Amino acid sequence: MPKPLIFAFCFLFACRGVSAQKSVWHPSPGQTQVPIWPGAVPNAQPVPGLEYVVRSKGLIGGRPVVSVSNVSGPTMTVYSPNGRNTGVAVVVFPGGGFEELAIDLEGTEACDWLTSEGITCVLLKYRVPSLPYDWHCKCRPDDFVKSSLALEDAQRTIGLVRFHAAEWHIDPHKIGVLGFSAGGYLVAEISTNFERRLYSHVDAADNESCRPDFAVGVYPGHLWVGGDAYRLNPNVPVTRQTPPTFLVQAEDDHVDGVNQSVAYFIALRNAGVPVEMHIYAQGGHAFGLRRTKFPVTRWPQLMETWLHTIGMLSQ
């Protein structure tokens, strides 16, 4: 990721006001989050404190954003469809620069929409921070991001969803991923790093494939490494086996920038991977699913149409 964008992103999060905080995020009543690891978390790294939740003072779509920081115990929360069940499942990766997770804007609100469409949603609270990090300057030392800990959590979760597919009334061949910003980068990582687990085998769930059947990246970051040739981050090795992908981006995104999606689109197209990309003139960054005056916030309807075109949803 180019250094100016890193600094812009760091400035955004450093300056964002937050209100009263509480420890450990919990889903709404009636939902249960469960640990994805049955014992010790593999390759555990220290975090600068206990997990905590903050509510922003700044508003997006007229509402604050709830974020979770210092996640060291990753969990998943399974949201079952409301009424009809299409058999499709989506694992959701909230964004937050691998520093925190925008757990409502880019998590629970996505699950509310998906379940209303008959899709099972699995919200992953993955480990953050999950990158080499300098706590003093709040800037990453590497331009070629590789979120190993978050990727471990993503691999494990997709295997768990396939392992429990019959129990959760899911078609094991219709399991996709949806991620925002840094979570969009995690979408690209799991889409291109699924043949080998990054951790030692834990149980039977790890015998299942962790390749998504489809992937959706919304204003993804960390993918373009600069230059006119739109060179892709080498930690995202796109091949013909990369799943069909849907990308959404606003051209005026001044945090991660439109070139992130463009670089990934070109790599997917060159590899022969089915890909659909929508670039809107306005919308900025971190709009999630909240309706605003900009047309970009109607992207969920386009994604639903795309799921029909690739055969995930029936006509």
Mean pLDDT of the chain: 89
Selection from 103, 117, 128 nearest residue 31 by Cα: 103
Q: What pLDDT was estimated at residue 256?
A: 83
248-287 pLDDT tens trace: 999 999 998 899 999 999 999 999 999 999 999 999 999 9
Q: Which fold has domain 3-309?
A: Rossmann fold (3.40.50)
67-110 pLDDT tens trace: 999 999 999 999 999 889 999 999 999 999 999 999 999 999 99
Q: How far is CA 296 from the centre of its chain?
A: 18
The answer, yes or no, to whether residue 125 has pLDDT greater than 60, is yes
Q: How far is CA 221 from the centre of its chain?
A: 10
Q: Which residues contact residue 38 at a Cβ distance below 8 angstroms, ignoring those fewer than 6 apart?
A: 202, 203
The pTM is what? 0.91
The answer, yes or no, to whether residue 19 has pLDDT greater than 70, is no
Q: What pLDDT was estimated at residue 77?
A: 98
Percentage of residues in the chain having pLDDT higher than 90: 81
Domain boundaries, the chain: 3-309
